Chain A
Amino acid sequence: MMKEMKRPERGKSLFRFAAPQLFYPLAGALAPWFAAAAAALTIIGLWLAFFVAPTDAQQGEVYRVIFIHVPAAWMSMFVYLIMAFWSAVGLVMNTRLSFMMARALAPTGAMFCVVALVTGALWGKPTWGAYWVWDARLTSQLLLLFLYFGFMALTEAIEDPRRADKAGAIIALVGAVNVPIIYFSVKWWNTLHQGASVSLTKAPSMAATMLAGMLVMALASWAYTIAVTLWRVRPLILERERHAEWVAAELDALEGKV
Protein backbone atom coordinates (compact mmCIF):
# COMPACT_ATOMS: atom_id res chain seq x y z
CA MET A 1 0.00 0.00 0.00
CA MET A 2 1.23 3.47 -0.80
CA LYS A 3 1.51 5.73 2.15
CA GLU A 4 -0.17 9.02 1.59
CA MET A 5 2.47 11.58 0.71
CA LYS A 6 2.61 14.54 2.99
CA ARG A 7 2.51 17.74 1.03
CA PRO A 8 5.34 20.08 1.97
CA GLU A 9 3.98 23.21 3.55
CA ARG A 10 3.61 26.03 1.10
CA GLY A 11 5.27 29.32 1.85
CA LYS A 12 8.24 27.86 3.70
CA SER A 13 10.78 26.55 1.24
CA LEU A 14 12.37 28.56 -1.55
CA PHE A 15 11.99 25.44 -3.69
CA ARG A 16 8.30 26.22 -4.12
CA PHE A 17 9.39 28.63 -6.85
CA ALA A 18 10.38 25.62 -8.94
CA ALA A 19 6.69 25.51 -9.83
CA PRO A 20 6.22 27.51 -13.05
CA GLN A 21 2.96 28.90 -11.71
CA LEU A 22 4.74 30.56 -8.77
CA PHE A 23 7.89 31.48 -10.67
CA TYR A 24 6.04 33.35 -13.39
CA PRO A 25 4.88 36.26 -11.19
CA LEU A 26 8.18 36.22 -9.25
CA ALA A 27 10.16 36.61 -12.50
CA GLY A 28 7.86 39.42 -13.57
CA ALA A 29 8.36 41.21 -10.26
CA LEU A 30 12.15 40.79 -10.12
CA ALA A 31 13.07 41.54 -13.74
CA PRO A 32 12.49 45.34 -13.66
CA TRP A 33 14.66 45.66 -10.54
CA PHE A 34 17.54 43.83 -12.16
CA ALA A 35 17.06 45.86 -15.33
CA ALA A 36 17.24 49.08 -13.32
CA ALA A 37 20.35 47.84 -11.52
CA ALA A 38 21.92 46.93 -14.86
CA ALA A 39 21.22 50.40 -16.28
CA ALA A 40 22.58 52.20 -13.20
CA LEU A 41 25.70 50.01 -13.00
CA THR A 42 26.37 50.42 -16.73
CA ILE A 43 26.24 54.23 -16.42
CA ILE A 44 28.57 54.19 -13.39
CA GLY A 45 30.88 51.65 -15.04
CA LEU A 46 31.12 53.56 -18.32
CA TRP A 47 31.71 56.83 -16.45
CA LEU A 48 34.58 55.18 -14.54
CA ALA A 49 35.84 53.65 -17.77
CA PHE A 50 35.89 56.79 -19.90
CA PHE A 51 36.40 59.66 -17.47
CA VAL A 52 38.07 58.35 -14.31
CA ALA A 53 40.38 55.52 -15.32
CA PRO A 54 43.83 56.75 -16.41
CA THR A 55 45.26 56.23 -19.89
CA ASP A 56 47.32 53.06 -20.14
CA ALA A 57 51.06 53.69 -20.32
CA GLN A 58 51.70 51.16 -23.09
CA GLN A 59 48.45 50.79 -24.98
CA GLY A 60 47.09 54.35 -24.87
CA GLU A 61 43.33 54.88 -25.10
CA VAL A 62 42.69 51.64 -26.99
CA TYR A 63 42.83 49.64 -23.80
CA ARG A 64 39.46 51.09 -22.70
CA VAL A 65 37.73 48.42 -24.74
CA ILE A 66 38.53 45.98 -21.92
CA PHE A 67 35.74 47.54 -19.85
CA ILE A 68 33.31 45.87 -22.22
CA HIS A 69 35.46 43.06 -23.54
CA VAL A 70 36.51 41.41 -20.28
CA PRO A 71 33.07 41.39 -18.56
CA ALA A 72 31.51 40.06 -21.77
CA ALA A 73 34.09 37.27 -22.02
CA TRP A 74 33.61 36.35 -18.33
CA MET A 75 29.84 36.40 -18.73
CA SER A 76 29.87 34.23 -21.86
CA MET A 77 31.67 31.51 -19.89
CA PHE A 78 29.62 31.88 -16.69
CA VAL A 79 26.37 31.70 -18.62
CA TYR A 80 27.43 28.41 -20.19
CA LEU A 81 28.24 27.01 -16.76
CA ILE A 82 24.89 28.15 -15.38
CA MET A 83 23.17 26.67 -18.42
CA ALA A 84 24.92 23.35 -17.83
CA PHE A 85 23.97 23.57 -14.15
CA TRP A 86 20.25 24.04 -14.93
CA SER A 87 20.48 21.24 -17.51
CA ALA A 88 21.95 18.87 -14.91
CA VAL A 89 19.30 19.88 -12.35
CA GLY A 90 16.62 19.33 -14.98
CA LEU A 91 17.88 15.88 -15.92
CA VAL A 92 18.30 14.76 -12.31
CA MET A 93 15.20 16.30 -10.69
CA ASN A 94 13.03 16.33 -13.82
CA THR A 95 11.91 19.91 -13.16
CA ARG A 96 10.43 21.65 -16.18
CA LEU A 97 11.49 25.11 -15.07
CA SER A 98 15.21 24.18 -15.07
CA PHE A 99 15.10 23.36 -18.78
CA MET A 100 13.26 26.59 -19.50
CA MET A 101 15.95 28.53 -17.62
CA ALA A 102 18.68 26.81 -19.67
CA ARG A 103 16.91 27.76 -22.89
CA ALA A 104 16.30 31.32 -21.74
CA LEU A 105 20.01 31.75 -20.90
CA ALA A 106 21.48 30.50 -24.19
CA PRO A 107 20.83 33.55 -26.43
CA THR A 108 22.33 35.92 -23.83
CA GLY A 109 25.45 33.76 -23.54
CA ALA A 110 25.85 33.68 -27.31
CA MET A 111 25.36 37.46 -27.44
CA PHE A 112 28.15 38.01 -24.88
CA CYS A 113 30.37 35.65 -26.89
CA VAL A 114 29.84 37.79 -30.00
CA VAL A 115 30.45 41.01 -28.03
CA ALA A 116 33.70 39.60 -26.60
CA LEU A 117 34.88 38.47 -30.05
CA VAL A 118 34.00 41.74 -31.81
CA THR A 119 35.50 44.02 -29.14
CA GLY A 120 38.55 41.74 -29.04
CA ALA A 121 38.97 42.09 -32.80
CA LEU A 122 38.67 45.89 -32.59
CA TRP A 123 41.31 45.92 -29.85
CA GLY A 124 43.54 43.48 -31.70
CA LYS A 125 43.85 45.57 -34.87
CA PRO A 126 45.76 48.53 -33.32
CA THR A 127 47.54 46.39 -30.71
CA TRP A 128 48.56 43.24 -32.60
CA GLY A 129 48.12 44.61 -36.10
CA ALA A 130 45.45 42.04 -37.03
CA TYR A 131 41.75 41.67 -36.33
CA TRP A 132 42.09 38.00 -35.70
CA VAL A 133 44.91 35.73 -34.62
CA TRP A 134 44.56 32.01 -34.01
CA ASP A 135 45.41 32.36 -30.37
CA ALA A 136 44.17 30.00 -27.66
CA ARG A 137 41.69 32.29 -25.94
CA LEU A 138 40.22 33.71 -29.12
CA THR A 139 39.85 30.27 -30.62
CA SER A 140 38.25 28.72 -27.56
CA GLN A 141 35.87 31.70 -27.34
CA LEU A 142 34.90 31.07 -30.95
CA LEU A 143 34.32 27.38 -30.23
CA LEU A 144 32.20 28.35 -27.20
CA LEU A 145 30.04 30.41 -29.55
CA PHE A 146 29.63 27.34 -31.78
CA LEU A 147 28.57 25.32 -28.72
CA TYR A 148 25.88 27.93 -28.00
CA PHE A 149 24.75 27.78 -31.63
CA GLY A 150 24.59 23.98 -31.44
CA PHE A 151 22.48 24.10 -28.28
CA MET A 152 20.06 26.66 -29.72
CA ALA A 153 19.81 24.92 -33.11
CA LEU A 154 19.12 21.55 -31.50
CA THR A 155 16.45 22.81 -29.09
CA GLU A 156 14.73 24.76 -31.88
CA ALA A 157 14.84 21.84 -34.34
CA ILE A 158 12.99 19.39 -32.07
CA GLU A 159 9.26 20.01 -31.98
CA ASP A 160 8.33 17.90 -28.98
CA PRO A 161 9.23 20.20 -26.04
CA ARG A 162 10.08 17.35 -23.65
CA ARG A 163 12.52 15.81 -26.11
CA ALA A 164 13.93 19.26 -26.99
CA ASP A 165 14.54 20.01 -23.31
CA LYS A 166 16.34 16.78 -22.55
CA ALA A 167 18.34 16.64 -25.77
CA GLY A 168 19.45 20.23 -25.18
CA ALA A 169 20.42 19.36 -21.62
CA ILE A 170 22.57 16.45 -22.80
CA ILE A 171 24.40 18.52 -25.40
CA ALA A 172 24.92 21.32 -22.84
CA LEU A 173 26.50 18.83 -20.42
CA VAL A 174 28.63 17.17 -23.11
CA GLY A 175 29.78 20.66 -24.07
CA ALA A 176 30.54 21.54 -20.44
CA VAL A 177 32.76 18.45 -20.11
CA ASN A 178 34.49 19.43 -23.33
CA VAL A 179 35.03 23.13 -22.62
CA PRO A 180 38.15 22.59 -20.44
CA ILE A 181 39.51 19.99 -22.87
CA ILE A 182 39.00 22.36 -25.78
CA TYR A 183 40.57 25.21 -23.80
CA PHE A 184 43.73 23.33 -22.87
CA SER A 185 44.16 21.65 -26.24
CA VAL A 186 43.92 25.00 -27.99
CA LYS A 187 46.26 26.53 -25.43
CA TRP A 188 48.98 23.97 -26.15
CA TRP A 189 48.35 24.39 -29.83
CA ASN A 190 49.09 28.11 -29.94
CA THR A 191 49.33 31.03 -27.57
CA LEU A 192 49.84 34.75 -28.08
CA HIS A 193 47.16 36.35 -25.93
CA GLN A 194 48.50 38.38 -23.04
CA GLY A 195 48.33 36.58 -19.71
CA ALA A 196 45.34 37.15 -17.47
CA SER A 197 45.60 40.62 -15.91
CA VAL A 198 43.10 39.94 -13.14
CA SER A 199 43.87 37.15 -10.74
CA LEU A 200 42.56 36.31 -7.32
CA THR A 201 45.86 35.00 -5.97
CA LYS A 202 48.22 37.83 -6.77
CA ALA A 203 47.89 41.59 -6.64
CA PRO A 204 46.20 42.94 -9.77
CA SER A 205 48.59 44.52 -12.24
CA MET A 206 46.36 47.48 -13.04
CA ALA A 207 45.29 50.78 -11.47
CA ALA A 208 42.58 50.56 -8.83
CA THR A 209 40.15 52.72 -10.83
CA MET A 210 40.57 50.51 -13.88
CA LEU A 211 39.81 47.45 -11.78
CA ALA A 212 36.82 49.18 -10.19
CA GLY A 213 35.44 50.14 -13.60
CA MET A 214 35.80 46.60 -14.84
CA LEU A 215 34.17 45.06 -11.78
CA VAL A 216 31.24 47.49 -11.96
CA MET A 217 30.79 46.58 -15.61
CA ALA A 218 30.93 42.89 -14.68
CA LEU A 219 28.17 43.44 -12.10
CA ALA A 220 26.18 45.32 -14.73
CA SER A 221 26.41 42.36 -17.10
CA TRP A 222 25.28 40.02 -14.32
CA ALA A 223 22.25 42.20 -13.62
CA TYR A 224 21.51 42.49 -17.35
CA THR A 225 21.75 38.72 -17.81
CA ILE A 226 19.41 38.03 -14.91
CA ALA A 227 16.86 40.62 -16.08
CA VAL A 228 16.84 39.44 -19.69
CA THR A 229 16.68 35.77 -18.71
CA LEU A 230 13.74 36.36 -16.41
CA TRP A 231 11.94 38.26 -19.17
CA ARG A 232 12.70 35.55 -21.69
CA VAL A 233 11.58 32.71 -19.44
CA ARG A 234 8.11 34.23 -18.86
CA PRO A 235 6.71 33.67 -22.36
CA LEU A 236 8.41 30.25 -22.39
CA ILE A 237 6.48 29.36 -19.23
CA LEU A 238 3.21 30.61 -20.74
CA GLU A 239 3.82 28.62 -23.94
CA ARG A 240 4.65 25.39 -22.15
CA GLU A 241 1.94 25.62 -19.52
CA ARG A 242 -0.76 26.84 -21.91
CA HIS A 243 -3.05 23.97 -20.91
CA ALA A 244 -3.03 25.02 -17.27
CA GLU A 245 -5.90 27.04 -15.87
CA TRP A 246 -3.76 29.72 -14.32
CA VAL A 247 -2.24 30.53 -17.74
CA ALA A 248 -5.70 31.05 -19.20
CA ALA A 249 -6.52 33.42 -16.34
CA GLU A 250 -3.20 35.21 -16.82
CA LEU A 251 -3.79 35.63 -20.55
CA ASP A 252 -7.31 36.93 -19.98
CA ALA A 253 -5.90 39.49 -17.57
CA LEU A 254 -3.28 40.50 -20.15
CA GLU A 255 -5.92 40.92 -22.84
CA GLY A 256 -8.02 43.00 -20.49
CA LYS A 257 -5.07 45.36 -20.04
CA VAL A 258 -4.57 45.83 -23.78
Chain B
Amino acid sequence: MSRTLGPFAAVLRRDLLLAWRGRADVLVTLAFFVVVVCLFPFGVGAETNQLRSIAPGVLWVAALLATLLSLHRLFAQDHADGTLEQLLLSPEPTVLWVVAKVVAHWIATGLPLVLVAPALALLFDVEQGALGVLVLSLALGTPILALLGAVGAALTLGLRGGGMLLALLVLPLFVPVLIFGAGAVDSHLSGTGADAHILLLGGGLLGALALAPVACAAALRIAVE
Protein backbone atom coordinates (compact mmCIF):
# COMPACT_ATOMS: atom_id res chain seq x y z
CA MET B 1 0.00 0.00 0.00
CA SER B 2 1.25 3.48 -0.82
CA ARG B 3 2.80 5.72 1.82
CA THR B 4 -0.05 8.21 2.08
CA LEU B 5 -2.97 5.83 1.87
CA GLY B 6 -1.56 3.51 4.56
CA PRO B 7 -2.61 5.58 7.61
CA PHE B 8 -5.87 6.55 5.89
CA ALA B 9 -6.82 2.92 5.36
CA ALA B 10 -5.67 1.95 8.85
CA VAL B 11 -7.82 4.58 10.60
CA LEU B 12 -10.76 3.88 8.30
CA ARG B 13 -10.56 0.16 9.02
CA ARG B 14 -10.20 0.67 12.77
CA ASP B 15 -13.17 3.06 13.00
CA LEU B 16 -15.39 0.84 10.88
CA LEU B 17 -14.44 -2.15 13.02
CA LEU B 18 -15.26 -0.19 16.19
CA ALA B 19 -18.59 0.88 14.70
CA TRP B 20 -19.34 -2.74 13.78
CA ARG B 21 -18.48 -4.00 17.28
CA GLY B 22 -20.75 -1.36 18.81
CA ARG B 23 -23.46 -1.62 16.19
CA ALA B 24 -26.27 -1.11 18.69
CA ASP B 25 -25.10 2.51 19.07
CA VAL B 26 -25.08 2.97 15.33
CA LEU B 27 -28.54 1.49 14.95
CA VAL B 28 -29.92 4.00 17.45
CA THR B 29 -29.20 6.78 14.93
CA LEU B 30 -31.11 4.90 12.25
CA ALA B 31 -34.00 4.18 14.61
CA PHE B 32 -34.12 7.85 15.57
CA PHE B 33 -34.38 8.80 11.89
CA VAL B 34 -37.24 6.37 11.30
CA VAL B 35 -39.15 7.42 14.43
CA VAL B 36 -38.84 11.16 13.73
CA VAL B 37 -40.07 10.71 10.16
CA CYS B 38 -43.02 8.65 11.39
CA LEU B 39 -43.99 11.34 13.93
CA PHE B 40 -44.88 13.91 11.28
CA PRO B 41 -48.13 12.35 10.03
CA PHE B 42 -49.39 12.39 13.64
CA GLY B 43 -48.55 16.07 13.90
CA VAL B 44 -49.79 17.42 10.59
CA GLY B 45 -52.53 14.90 9.78
CA ALA B 46 -52.51 11.90 7.42
CA GLU B 47 -54.01 13.65 4.41
CA THR B 48 -52.19 12.12 1.42
CA ASN B 49 -51.68 15.25 -0.67
CA GLN B 50 -50.25 17.15 2.26
CA LEU B 51 -47.94 14.29 3.21
CA ARG B 52 -46.73 14.07 -0.37
CA SER B 53 -45.85 17.77 -0.44
CA ILE B 54 -43.96 17.81 2.87
CA ALA B 55 -42.15 14.48 2.35
CA PRO B 56 -38.81 15.79 0.95
CA GLY B 57 -38.50 18.41 3.69
CA VAL B 58 -39.44 15.99 6.45
CA LEU B 59 -36.97 13.34 5.31
CA TRP B 60 -34.22 15.89 4.97
CA VAL B 61 -34.80 17.55 8.35
CA ALA B 62 -34.94 14.15 10.03
CA ALA B 63 -31.68 13.09 8.33
CA LEU B 64 -30.09 16.35 9.47
CA LEU B 65 -31.17 15.87 13.10
CA ALA B 66 -30.06 12.24 13.11
CA THR B 67 -26.64 13.31 11.80
CA LEU B 68 -26.45 16.00 14.47
CA LEU B 69 -27.20 13.55 17.27
CA SER B 70 -24.52 11.12 16.14
CA LEU B 71 -21.82 13.77 15.71
CA HIS B 72 -20.59 13.90 19.30
CA ARG B 73 -19.46 10.26 18.97
CA LEU B 74 -17.03 11.19 16.20
CA PHE B 75 -14.14 12.15 18.50
CA ALA B 76 -15.48 11.76 22.07
CA GLN B 77 -14.39 8.17 22.63
CA ASP B 78 -10.92 8.71 21.17
CA HIS B 79 -10.57 11.86 23.26
CA ALA B 80 -11.53 10.01 26.44
CA ASP B 81 -9.10 7.11 26.01
CA GLY B 82 -6.17 9.17 24.70
CA THR B 83 -6.17 7.79 21.15
CA LEU B 84 -6.76 11.26 19.79
CA GLU B 85 -3.61 12.64 21.41
CA GLN B 86 -1.55 9.76 20.07
CA LEU B 87 -2.95 10.35 16.58
CA LEU B 88 -2.13 14.06 16.81
CA LEU B 89 1.40 13.25 18.01
CA SER B 90 1.96 10.80 15.17
CA PRO B 91 3.90 12.04 12.13
CA GLU B 92 1.01 11.24 9.78
CA PRO B 93 -0.80 14.27 8.35
CA THR B 94 -3.74 15.17 10.59
CA VAL B 95 -6.01 16.08 7.67
CA LEU B 96 -5.62 12.59 6.24
CA TRP B 97 -6.82 10.63 9.26
CA VAL B 98 -9.49 13.24 10.02
CA VAL B 99 -10.97 12.52 6.58
CA ALA B 100 -10.68 8.78 7.29
CA LYS B 101 -12.57 9.18 10.58
CA VAL B 102 -15.30 11.27 8.95
CA VAL B 103 -15.67 8.78 6.08
CA ALA B 104 -15.94 5.90 8.53
CA HIS B 105 -18.46 7.86 10.58
CA TRP B 106 -20.54 8.56 7.48
CA ILE B 107 -20.48 4.93 6.38
CA ALA B 108 -21.64 3.87 9.85
CA THR B 109 -24.32 6.53 10.41
CA GLY B 110 -25.05 8.36 7.14
CA LEU B 111 -25.17 5.54 4.64
CA PRO B 112 -27.89 3.57 6.49
CA LEU B 113 -30.10 6.71 6.43
CA VAL B 114 -29.59 7.02 2.68
CA LEU B 115 -30.57 3.39 2.16
CA VAL B 116 -33.65 3.50 4.39
CA ALA B 117 -34.96 6.84 3.10
CA PRO B 118 -36.73 5.47 -0.03
CA ALA B 119 -38.77 3.04 2.08
CA LEU B 120 -39.83 5.90 4.37
CA ALA B 121 -40.65 8.05 1.33
CA LEU B 122 -43.16 5.40 0.31
CA LEU B 123 -44.96 5.93 3.63
CA PHE B 124 -45.50 9.52 2.45
CA ASP B 125 -46.72 8.35 -0.96
CA VAL B 126 -43.84 9.99 -2.84
CA GLU B 127 -44.01 8.94 -6.50
CA GLN B 128 -41.48 6.24 -7.33
CA GLY B 129 -39.69 8.23 -10.01
CA ALA B 130 -38.49 10.71 -7.35
CA LEU B 131 -36.94 8.06 -5.11
CA GLY B 132 -33.73 7.99 -7.13
CA VAL B 133 -33.33 11.75 -6.79
CA LEU B 134 -34.01 11.52 -3.06
CA VAL B 135 -31.33 8.86 -2.58
CA LEU B 136 -28.85 10.78 -4.73
CA SER B 137 -29.45 14.06 -2.88
CA LEU B 138 -29.02 12.36 0.50
CA ALA B 139 -25.94 10.47 -0.70
CA LEU B 140 -24.32 13.76 -1.73
CA GLY B 141 -25.70 15.87 1.12
CA THR B 142 -25.19 13.77 4.26
CA PRO B 143 -21.36 13.61 3.77
CA ILE B 144 -21.36 17.44 3.71
CA LEU B 145 -23.26 17.41 7.00
CA ALA B 146 -20.73 14.97 8.46
CA LEU B 147 -17.77 17.10 7.30
CA LEU B 148 -19.20 20.40 8.61
CA GLY B 149 -20.36 18.68 11.78
CA ALA B 150 -16.87 17.29 12.36
CA VAL B 151 -15.57 20.87 12.74
CA GLY B 152 -18.26 21.58 15.33
CA ALA B 153 -17.62 18.29 17.10
CA ALA B 154 -13.89 19.07 17.32
CA LEU B 155 -14.55 22.58 18.65
CA THR B 156 -16.94 21.39 21.37
CA LEU B 157 -14.86 18.36 22.37
CA GLY B 158 -15.06 17.74 26.11
CA LEU B 159 -17.14 20.82 26.95
CA ARG B 160 -20.04 20.74 29.37
CA GLY B 161 -23.32 21.11 27.53
CA GLY B 162 -21.43 20.21 24.37
CA GLY B 163 -24.43 18.66 22.63
CA MET B 164 -26.61 21.78 22.69
CA LEU B 165 -23.67 23.96 21.80
CA LEU B 166 -22.84 21.71 18.86
CA ALA B 167 -26.40 22.10 17.57
CA LEU B 168 -26.22 25.89 17.87
CA LEU B 169 -22.88 25.97 16.04
CA VAL B 170 -23.62 23.70 13.10
CA LEU B 171 -27.36 23.98 12.40
CA PRO B 172 -27.07 27.42 10.70
CA LEU B 173 -24.27 25.98 8.56
CA PHE B 174 -26.49 23.06 7.53
CA VAL B 175 -29.15 25.32 6.01
CA PRO B 176 -27.75 25.49 2.43
CA VAL B 177 -27.47 21.68 2.33
CA LEU B 178 -31.06 21.38 3.49
CA ILE B 179 -32.24 23.88 0.87
CA PHE B 180 -30.52 22.15 -2.04
CA GLY B 181 -31.21 18.62 -0.79
CA ALA B 182 -34.94 19.03 -0.25
CA GLY B 183 -35.06 21.37 -3.27
CA ALA B 184 -33.68 18.64 -5.55
CA VAL B 185 -36.62 16.35 -4.80
CA ASP B 186 -39.12 19.19 -4.98
CA SER B 187 -37.91 20.44 -8.35
CA HIS B 188 -37.93 16.89 -9.73
CA LEU B 189 -41.53 16.49 -8.59
CA SER B 190 -42.54 19.86 -10.06
CA GLY B 191 -41.01 18.90 -13.41
CA THR B 192 -38.18 21.46 -13.62
CA GLY B 193 -35.51 18.78 -13.18
CA ALA B 194 -33.13 18.27 -10.27
CA ASP B 195 -29.86 18.67 -12.19
CA ALA B 196 -28.99 22.14 -10.86
CA HIS B 197 -29.58 21.15 -7.24
CA ILE B 198 -27.67 17.89 -7.58
CA LEU B 199 -24.72 19.65 -9.22
CA LEU B 200 -24.66 22.27 -6.46
CA LEU B 201 -24.73 19.54 -3.82
CA GLY B 202 -21.85 17.79 -5.60
CA GLY B 203 -19.89 21.05 -5.70
CA GLY B 204 -20.67 21.63 -2.04
CA LEU B 205 -19.39 18.16 -1.19
CA LEU B 206 -16.09 18.77 -2.99
CA GLY B 207 -15.73 22.20 -1.35
CA ALA B 208 -16.45 20.79 2.10
CA LEU B 209 -14.04 17.90 1.47
CA ALA B 210 -11.29 20.39 0.64
CA LEU B 211 -11.86 22.90 3.47
CA ALA B 212 -13.60 21.24 6.42
CA PRO B 213 -10.83 18.70 7.29
CA VAL B 214 -8.29 21.55 7.57
CA ALA B 215 -10.53 23.50 9.97
CA CYS B 216 -11.28 20.27 11.84
CA ALA B 217 -7.60 19.41 12.23
CA ALA B 218 -6.89 22.90 13.59
CA ALA B 219 -9.83 22.61 15.99
CA LEU B 220 -8.61 19.23 17.27
CA ARG B 221 -5.15 20.62 17.96
CA ILE B 222 -6.71 23.46 19.95
CA ALA B 223 -8.95 21.05 21.86
CA VAL B 224 -6.15 18.82 23.15
CA GLU B 225 -3.50 21.54 23.52
Which A residues have a C-beta under 8 Å from some C-beta of B? 91, 143, 146-147, 149-150, 153-154, 157-158, 162-163, 166-167, 170-171, 173-175, 177-178, 181-182, 185-186, 188-189
Least distance between A162 CB and chain B CB atoms (Å): 7
Given contacts A149-B168, A150-B168, contact A185 B175 (CB under 8 A): yes
Chain B, 193-225, contact with A by CB distance < 8 Å: what is the 0/1 string? Answer: 000000000001000000100010011001101
Q: Within 8 Å CB of B222, what residues of A?
A: 163, 166-167, 170
| Cβ-defined partner of A163 (8 Å) among B161, B179, B225 | B225
Q: Does B110 contact A (CB under 8 A)?
A: no
**How close is B137's CB to chain A, nearest CB, in angstroms?**
14
> Given A158-B159, A163-B225, A186-B179, is A150 in contact with B172 using a C-beta cutoff of 8 Å?
yes
Nearest-Cβ distance from residue A115 to partner chain B, whole angstroms: 19
Of all A-B residue pairs in the complex, the 4 with the closest CB atoms, nearest first, are A185-B176, A146-B172, A150-B169, A166-B222
How many interface residues does B have (CB within 8 Å)? 28
Closest partner residue, chain B, to A178 (CB atom): B173
A-B contact count (CB 8 A): 73
Q: Is the interface of B mostly helix, strand, loop or mixed?
A: helix
Q: Which residues of A contact B160 (CB under 8 A)?
A: 157
Enumerate 19 A-B pairs (CB-CB under 8 Å) in ascending A order.
Answer: A143-B175, A146-B168, A146-B171, A147-B172, A150-B169, A153-B168, A154-B165, A154-B169, A157-B160, A157-B162, A157-B165, A167-B222, A167-B223, A170-B155, A171-B151, A182-B176, A185-B176, A185-B180, A186-B176
Given the complex, which residues of B lie within 8 Å of A167, measured CB to CB?
155, 219, 222-223
